[in-house]
Structure 1
Amino acid sequence: MRAEFKTSNLALNKTLKNILKFLVFLSIGLGILIWIFRRQDKMYQADCVLKGIPEESCSLWAKLQADFLSVDIFWIGMVLLAFMVSNLARAHRWQMLMKGIGMKVSYGNSFWTIMIGYMANLSIPRIGEVLRGALLAKYEKQPVEKVLGTIVVDRAVDVISLLFALFLAFVLQFNVIFGFLKENFEDSRLSGDLIWQLGIVAAIGFGVLWLLRKKIMSSAIYGKISTFLMGFWEGIKSIRNVENMPLFIFYSVVIWMSYYSMTWMCFASFGPTEHLGGLAALMTFVFGGLGIVFPSPGGMGTYHAMVMAALALYGVAGNDAFSFANILYFSVQLFCNITFGLLALLMLPLLNRTKS
């Protein structure tokens, strides 16, 4: 009786902990999104005053709704198609990783568990990776730790791909970034005095870290980071088990080219961004990718902030950039992930109904 009570208490505590996590991360995402909206609304109101537009005719919310209705549906459809292509390729790549360590799993289960994982990430960041691994292990009757190990590898490859895209974007668009910083911050925040001050602060910070290095290295946080990095490296090394490396690389390229093309095609769907080209799409895609990495549900708020920062480099007005970020975010992160995630909840039991 006592053991049952203890077990039920543990389950309840775990549930409460997950609910608390969800509320915390949701608050972070909504908080950032609301802050961005209010900030842009003030700027929009100020712009209306300069243009002599009456206050009652100047609403950022109304503009956002009008911008959503103005998009070219054809290009949004192409964005959604590219999203599906990326997921189909990801399912194939994941199958290759599992086959490399002796696990043969069905393509349907691989694909649909990925879709459920994306939907779950909208609640608690990264919980979707654990969920898709657990579901696949359940339906394919495979060891869950081995399945989760392949997801670590899968995400490690994604990190490397994002870093490469980031490097490529900064190399190809260095002049744009430098010109923007010089034009906007040369007289104030990037003054010589500030650079010296930042240098002194950085030197003091490194000095403190050096003096406290033994205490830091013995801390639990350092241990967790070290364990994560070691697992990350082991995961990268396990790619050697993949049978067809050229095909694995091909699927990786398809995944990331699909992500990139989604941004470019969304440019074409929206008037204020339709003039932007491939390099601007690359920079916006990379910034948006970094926004998704931050701990908020599905990148809510952080994604918007990063996309707006990228579009500012190309002279897109903040209000238009805010609309663009919402168009891409809501069409992919919310519409696609929720729709196909719910569909996956129906498809997985149907695909596995004959299994004992």
Structure 2
Amino acid sequence: MKINLKKIIFTILPIALGVLLIWYSLSKLKPNDIESIKNSFKTANYWWVACSLLLGILSHLSRAYRWQFMLEPLGYRPKFANNVMAVLVAYLVNLIVPRAGEIARATTITKYEHIPFEKAFGTIVSERVADVIMLLGIMALAFIYQTELLSSYLFKEEDSGSGYTSYILGALAILGILFIWLIRKSENPLVIKIQAFIQGLIQGVVSIFRMKKKWAFIFHTVFIWTMYVLMFYVVTFALPETTHLAFGAIIVGFVVGGLSMAVTNGGLGTYPVFVASALTLYGIDENPALAFGWIMWTAQTAMVLVFGGLSFVILPIYNKDEE
């Protein structure tokens, strides 16, 4: 009973938080703000939004194809269509139950391709290691750009600002080395878990380089995350206010939007607010920044709902002769 209650809480709480954030953000808007955002929606160039969705589809296809490189060494060659639909089902389930998508993906491929669940799930976990490495790399890039931005706010003179940035980065490097040293020496249970997580990442990276088709796997990993960034980037051309955003703003906005996905289901209520807060740092007015966030989130969510829902319907029909 306690387990069921815990599951219900962890399922409903993020959705409730997302709804609350939507209500709160809308309640702060004045009538002329709402009118301004509506006007942005009306005048947006949705061809760029459609282009973003196409890039998203390419990333999903690439993710499904990349999965094959993990399954083949285990002796399994599932149909590509089943791989694609399993990936789409995972995204849909994640909108409803956080972090349950990976389980749904493994369950789907187990049901329709008869791959043992533990093996399918193991390959998904290994994939996530590569994704975490890519995300950390993009976050590091975003942090560098954000540090430059903050230094320009704190220090008026450009030359001194760049100097202080170097000091900040140097101090962070020293703190990073100190942190690693403490992690290696400590016997605290929490620190031991962190050690195990880091070791798992290292082992996962090593296993990728031992893979038979490692370069193809690495190419698709880079391709997937490039598509993610480009999905964000091309939508900036949909609104005149965001057309001329600098590369740093794109990276920072992308990372902030990605982090919002961990707070609520699929970034419900958080994605537009988080992205808008990032874009306003780069001189974008709050209303078009919010409109951009809502357009981006709505398009992504609609894509997942449509293609994930279709996958649920098509999977049993497509595999009816195999059952």
Alignment of 1:92-111 (within 5 A): 92-111=65-84
Name the counterpart of 2:220.
Answer: 251
Spell out, residue by residue over 1:329-350, the C-alpha distance to the aligned partner (whole angstroms, 9 max, x if none): 0101x21000001110122112
Structure of higher CA gyration radius: 1
Q: Percent identity?
A: 31
Post-superposition offset of 1:92: 0.9
What root-mean-square deviation, in Å, do the aligned CA atoms of Structure 1 and Structure 2 show? 2.7
2 CA distance for matches of 1:27 and 1:316? 29
Superposed counterparts of 1:127-276, under 5 Å? 127-172=100-145, 174-182=147-155, 217-218=188-189, 228-229=197-198, 231-276=200-245
Ranges in structure 2 where 5+ consecutive residues have no aligned partner: 157-178
State the 1:59 CA deviation.
Answer: 4.0
Match of 2:19 in 1: 30
DSSP 3-state at the match of 1:105 = coil
Change (3 A) 1:222 1:134: farther
Q: Is the 8 A contact 2:253 2:279 kept in 1?
A: yes
Aligned residues: 298
CA contact (8 A) 2:275 2:289 kept: yes
Task: Give the C-alpha shift of residue 109 in structure 1.
Answer: 1.0
Spell out the pairing of 1:18-57 with structure 2 (5 A cutoff). Answer: 18-39=7-28, 41=29, 45=30
1:117-157 CA distance string (max 9 Å, x none): 11111112111111111111111111111111111111221
Gaps of 5+ in 1: 1-9, 46-57, 184-205
Q: Distance in 1 between matches of 2:199 and 2:54?
A: 36
- Name 2:160's counterpart in structure 1: none
* 1:223 Cα deviation after fit: 7.2
- 1:352 alignment partner in structure 2: 319
**Is 1:283 paired with 2:283?**
no
Closer/same/farther in 2, CA of residues 226 and 347 from structure 1, 3 Å limit: farther
TM-score, normalised by the number of residues in structure 1: 0.75
Rounded to whole Å, the distance in 2 between the matches of 1:291 and 1:305 is: 9
State TM-score, norm by structure 2.
0.82
Q: Is the 8 A contact 1:100 1:241 kept in 2?
A: no
Q: Are positions 1:326 and 2:294 aligned together?
A: yes
Q: Shift in Å at residue 181 of structure 1? A: 4.9
Distance 1:36 1:181, change over 3 A: farther
Q: Which residue matches 1:48?
A: none
Query: 1:89 Cα shift?
Result: 0.7
- Provide, for residues 27-70 of structure 1, a one-character-per-residue CA deviation record: whole Å limited to 9, x for no partner: 1222233333334x1xxx4xxxxxxxxxxxx3433333322222
The match for 2:279 among 311, 320, 325 is: 311
Q: Is the 8 A contact 1:113 1:344 kept in 2?
A: yes
Amino acid at match of 1:298: G
